[in-house]
Structure 1
Amino acid sequence: MSPSNLHYFLSVTTIIFAGFLFDFSIESTLMYPLGCSSKIPSCNSYLYHISNGLSIEEMANFYSVNASQIQSITHDAKLDYLVSVPCTCKDVNGTLGYFYDTLYTVKPGDTYAGVSGEFYSGQAWMIAAEEQLFVAGDMITIHLVCGCLEVENQEAVTYTVQDRDTLSQIAELLSANLSEIEKLNGNLTQNPNFIDIGWVLFVPIGKRKIQAPKAGKRHNLPIIIGTSLVVTLLSMSMLVLFLIRRNRNHRKNRDLEAVNKSPSAKKSSSQNQLLQDKYMEGVASIESERHVTYSLEEINEATNNFDESRKIGQGGYGTVYIGVLKEQEVAIKKMKFSQSKEFFAELKVLCKIHHINVLELLGYARGDNHLYLIYEYMQNGSLNDHLHDPVLKGHSPLSWTARANVAVDAARGIEYIHDHTKARYVHRDIKTSNILLDQRLGAKVADFGLARLVERSNKEDVVATCLVGTPGYIAPECARELQMTSKTDVFAFGVVLAELVTGQRALIRDNQEPNEMKSLVSVIYTIFQVTDKQGALEANIDGNLRGSCPMEEVYKMAELSRQCLSEDPMNRPEMREVVQKLSQILTSSIEWEASLRGNSRVFSRMLKGR
């Protein structure tokens, strides 16, 4: 990779989506913007919106279009939608392609990937720094990928692959030609028999009557929609009457009668039934001997009905609350039913993994249109909280020995899922906020919602939806070659080691360009490129460590971080090698600490972070 390309990768243009999943059943997003044609600067195109309960008016607001530009389409007995938008060739932070821009007002707790998944079917094009600049109250531009085609009488649909989709089914759904879909998406359809949930495809279709509005033209689509709605409402009314009569004749329970009398409840009932069927199907496929199924009543009692005061965390996958179940403190993750993909991904992995350095799953539950995962509670929160502004978050800065111990614990957890389980797993979202600390600052790896199974073989590279995770932790081959291997976790762990040494975040503001972000990876690269490496490291070491750490061991950890961050995955160590080297660093650090017990000032400083 050339220096310019490396800078491109390390700065703000790494593209990732933490798969949304975030708010519906897509597990992760992989997309390539459609390249511009000099012949077509702009056109009309369609965005395929996967239904998640939004009304047409709400969709129109999120997409900044008129309701007349939205048309329903049936997918597996549910209504999805085609949104007609004007598509334009433009440069989005160095990426030239076709995009449609809309505006979104950020709400508290929003994440960029979560918003993309919930409101835009995972079709938003994200730059690495955007998540860090996602501030509540701001109005931001969402860049949605779209397409213009040179073939006359054809338009492009931006389509996000759903559960059980195949290319032939997508072609049938949109009345498209299978070979044309394969040709237009060559990067993703090298093996036409394999597509994954969350991949974003461009589907060429014949021009439709629905169009984005142009000056001086009117359309009769509102009449068509109005007629369709009348017919639909009449059909629903007849169905409701039939159900009510059948309900009375058979004297069914009052809950069902109440559902039949409520149109809105009836609508959500059919959707929820599909989700609940998938839940039961998924749970039945999981072999578990140690985990407990809890009732909704138990979960509500444990969290005082999910009182806000019990909230201890929130992210793209759900909200976490502290609770007490059977006299044990637990952490309960509350997820929407539409997030069943992440729910089962984590459930299936943690039901098979039991290790002292992997967060333990205690049980699960469902109810009230939500899914719940119950974990052991980690009293000291995440490593991220202890490294970045720890005092503001009520923590003392970690001592060097405590950091070395955390590094060993986390490395052992990752090594376990790579080498010591029956099936090899890749975590895909290793970062400091997914390393949790117990009361004694012992570390455990958490959040397996993106974990994927890979084969144990000499050639374990998997071409998959690799562009997931968190900005600043993504390995270069994920964006460049779509590889997903255990070495992608090693790269991310190298960033964690860099954070332990420097105290800096994975993405930091560039002092020379205040409006841009730079990667901590680039800082580590720079340290080991200069002649005075030791001096460069000392200039970047965490200020809380200066004067109270063994610089020789700090240098060794920084050097190990650099090895993990090698651009070529083949040059990165395996996690078992990382564990061995960190164990040696920890042993030497403990010996160094013991030798200083005569110096009460230094030793007392270290003890505060233990």
Structure 2
Amino acid sequence: MALPNRLLIFLPLLATIFSKTLSYYISEKDNLMFPFTCSAPEHKTCNSTLYHISKGHTKEQISSFYSVNTSQIKPIIHAKTLDYLISVPCGCKNVSGTQGYFYDTSYQVQSGDILVNVTNDIYSGQAWEVEGEEDYFVPGELFPVHLLCGCPDVNSQVVVTYTVQDHDTLSGIASLLSARLKGFENMNARLIENPTYIDIGWVLFVPMEKSGITSSTKGNRHKLMIVIIGILSFVTLVLLVALIVFLLRQKRGHDFTEEDPKAVSKTLSSTRTASLQKQYNIEDMTGFESERPVIFSLEEVEEATAGFNESRKIGEGGYGKVYFGVLGDQEVAIKKMKSNKSKEFFAELKVLCRIHHINVVELLGYASGDDHLYLVYEFIQKGSLNEHLHDPLLKGHQPLSWAARAQIALNTARGIEYIHDHTKARYVHRDIKTSNILLDEGLRAKVADFGLVKLVERTGDEDFIATRLVGTPGYLPPESVRELQMTSKSDVFAFGVVLAELITGQRALIRDNQEPSRMKSLISLVYEIFRDDDPENALEPLVDGNLKGNYPMEEVYKMAEISEWCLNEDPVNRPEMRETIGTLSQILVSSIEWEASLGGNSQVFSGLFNGR
């Protein structure tokens, strides 16, 4: 009996400790969120936005949870995850004695549901807790949910209710949602005492700028700078005119056969280029000058590659070898070409000096010496698409997901479209293939290897006849093989082959199963699919086995249709690259949403909204 009596003595003490611990926990939980204050129920209403952290629900499910139309749900990429922004009406209300801005919805309670899981997983921890609400959380019943929202003081902003996630920072959230950092901090002053510290689960209000970030201070400074530059320019012009007049007077009576001053004022870049042009007998270098590429010395490129050590070699082709190197603190790829390949060297140099696009490999500089020519590019970490599609596991790569393939198709199309339609001169690449498409860390594709590029005029008749057959077997259109004719539609045809490779995982030329000594083109396989009475059914068994059935067949078929369009035997009936962009964009978005609905977390999210 002594032991039970002692326990009875300690029970009040234990109860006190438990009560204090529980009240501390509740206090801490309450401090994770504060309602956006409003003065009275008749205070204005507005459109507000709720940030939904994706847990694998479809758009239709989310629209049901939030009682909105799917048109009010917009995707947003955060840390490679597809989340959603949900537009809702927000109003000033009194919820169980708490005055603030709220958006009300309801949730159909399912058997086995737990309240805390519903508020965290479905409503991203943004539901306001009401005393005794557990009593209403009954399976089969509608449970009222009060979500925090807010109305800004200025019409140029919309308030986003955001729940802090792992690795978030204030500046990162502000950047993600186009908000000014200072205004963001001020709007959450009750919660953010130290701007360097925020915690997972905090609910913050973000004043998102509807038109993106603009800075009046920067604008004023910009105007001031324009005025100052204008004054300085005028003064400089006056002094320059005076100097010219003085020099002209000094030169009167002198022999005017002196060296052209323009030649003296040429930059080091132009002089070195002219020297290379003369040395290697290259005639057409009109308009070559560019400020972007840097001229490196032979010593610099040799040091960067450890003397072109074979262990640094990362590629080899008909025009030379490619080495990995480090120049300063930047990783680079250096193509080493024999001097007898000067035509290809200058073709690539001329084009990449003028082309700067996120889906085209960036030329950083060039060098010459020791009977060789060198092109220095940005280093693209993941290597070529060819390595990731054909026997990827043997080459140390994981097979590409379908969403990754959709992104690569779109990126490649944008890169080719850019050189066709958005440069001063129109270029034909002439060697589009999977080994000339490089992938960066985010699996963003970049078109590379412009050694065969050709300039064509922007006229109605832009065909030109090559002096020899160039390109790669398996990617060449009929008109190139028959007539050596090359146009932008030749690149479109080759792109159609690349799409077929992305879908099937097969090479452009494959061994015929019935006649092993013969090679069969992937092009003929695409033709066979679309000659079938049910092409979608004919396509399905040919989809890359590395995907293991994880793909949306509808989107795969749409890409196959684009491939067939590009592979039309008559170039007139092929699309322009720009005509493929819209459908490929839709395929990518639909593929990512399909993957997200399965709880996927694809590497492609980081590249979804990049590029043109």
TM-score category (smaller protein) = 0.5 to 0.7
Look up the SS of the partner of 1:467 in the other structure: coil
Assess, with a 3 A threshold, how the Cα gap between structure 1 residues 609 and 419 changes in structure 2: closer, same or farther. Answer: closer
How well do the aligned residues superpose, as a CA RMSD in angstroms?
Answer: 2.0
Assess, with a 3 A threshold, how the Cα gap between structure 1 residues 562 and 282 changes in structure 2: closer, same or farther. Answer: closer
Offset from partner CA, 1:273-326 (integer Å, 9 cap, x none): 999722697779621101110011111110000111100000001000000001
Is the 8 Å Cα contact of residues 282 and 344 (structure 1) preserved in structure 2?
Answer: no
Q: How far off is 1:464 after superposition?
A: 2.6
Assess, with a 3 A threshold, how the Cα gap between structure 1 residues 386 and 431 changes in structure 2: closer, same or farther. Answer: same
The within-5 A match list for 1:216-295 is 277-278=279-280, 286-295=288-297
Is the 8 Å Cα contact of residues 275 and 337 (structure 1) preserved in structure 2?
Answer: no
State the match for 1:532 in structure 2. 534
Assess, with a 3 A threshold, how the Cα gap between structure 1 residues 284 and 304 changes in structure 2: closer, same or farther. Answer: farther
Is the 8 Å Cα contact of residues 473 and 506 (structure 1) preserved in structure 2?
Answer: yes
Look up the SS of the partner of 1:389 in the other structure: coil
Is the 8 Å Cα contact of residues 275 and 338 (structure 1) preserved in structure 2?
Answer: no
Is the 8 Å Cα contact of residues 467 and 484 (structure 2) preserved in structure 1?
Answer: yes
Q: Quick one: distance in 2 between partners of 1:419 and 1:285?
A: 19
State the match for 2:429 in structure 1. 427
State the match for 2:505 in structure 1. 503
State the match for 1:549 in structure 2. 551
Q: How far off is 1:465 after superposition?
A: 3.3
Offset from partner CA, 1:5-37 (integer Å, 9 cap, x none): xxxxxxxxxxxxxxxxxxxxxxxxxxxxxxxxx
The match for 1:448 among 447, 450, 454 is: 450
The match for 1:374 among 354, 373, 376 is: 376
Assess, with a 3 A threshold, how the Cα gap between structure 1 residues 466 and 502 changes in structure 2: closer, same or farther. Answer: farther
State the match for 2:481 in structure 1. 479
The within-5 A match list for 1:552-563 is 552-563=554-565
Q: Quick one: distance in 1 between partners of 2:379 and 2:315?
A: 12
Q: Quick one: distance in 2 between partners of 1:463 and 1:561?
A: 25
Q: How far off is 1:540 after superposition?
A: 0.6
The question of 1:323 aligning with 2:293 is answered: no
Look up the SS of the partner of 1:453 in the other structure: strand
Is the 8 Å Cα contact of residues 443 and 603 (structure 2) preserved in structure 1?
Answer: no
Is the 8 Å Cα contact of residues 332 and 372 (structure 1) preserved in structure 2?
Answer: yes
State the match for 1:347 in structure 2. 349
State the match for 2:408 in structure 1. 406
Look up the SS of the partner of 2:470 in the other structure: coil
Offset from partner CA, 1:97-119 (integer Å, 9 cap, x none): xxxxxxxxxxxxxxxxxxxxxxx
Is the 8 Å Cα contact of residues 425 and 452 (structure 1) preserved in structure 2?
Answer: yes
Offset from partner CA, 1:449-508 (integer Å, 9 cap, x none): 000011111222222336210000001111223321110000000000000000000000
Q: How far off is 1:535 after superposition?
A: 1.9
Q: How far off is 1:331 after superposition?
A: 0.1
Assess, with a 3 A threshold, how the Cα gap between structure 1 residues 349 and 392 changes in structure 2: closer, same or farther. Answer: same
Q: Quick one: distance in 2 between partners of 1:512 and 1:582?
A: 35
Look up the SS of the partner of 1:495 in the other structure: helix
2:554 corresponds to which letter in structure 1? E
Is the 8 Å Cα contact of residues 397 and 609 (structure 1) preserved in structure 2?
Answer: no
Offset from partner CA, 1:522-577 (integer Å, 9 cap, x none): 00100111112122111111001232100000000011100000001111111001
Look up the SS of the partner of 1:397 in the other structure: coil
State the match for 2:314 in structure 1. 312
Identity of aligned residues (%): 70
Larger radius of gyration: 2
Structure 1 residue runs without a partner (length 5+) = 1-272, 598-602
1:530 corresponds to which letter in structure 2? D
Look up the SS of the partner of 2:290 in the other structure: coil
Q: Quick one: distance in 2 between partners of 1:559 and 1:596?
A: 25
Look up the SS of the partner of 2:546 in the other structure: coil
Is the 8 Å Cα contact of residues 396 and 608 (structure 1) preserved in structure 2?
Answer: no
The match for 2:339 among 334, 337, 340 is: 337
Is the 8 Å Cα contact of residues 508 and 522 (structure 2) preserved in structure 1?
Answer: yes
Assess, with a 3 A threshold, how the Cα gap between structure 1 residues 556 and 608 changes in structure 2: closer, same or farther. Answer: closer
Q: Quick one: distance in 2 between partners of 1:281 and 1:577?
A: 36
Assess, with a 3 A threshold, how the Cα gap between structure 1 residues 529 and 451 changes in structure 2: closer, same or farther. Answer: same
Q: Quick one: distance in 2 between partners of 1:492 and 1:281?
A: 30
The within-5 A match list for 1:152-167 is none
1:464 corresponds to which letter in structure 2? A
1:541 corresponds to which letter in structure 2? V
Is the 8 Å Cα contact of residues 480 and 486 (structure 2) preserved in structure 1?
Answer: yes
The match for 1:417 among 409, 416, 419 is: 419
- Point out which structure has higher relative CO (alpha carbons under 8 A, 6+ apart): 1
Aligned residue pairs total 332
**TM-score where L is the length of structure 2:** 0.52
Q: Quick one: distance in 1 between partners of 2:556 and 2:468?
A: 32
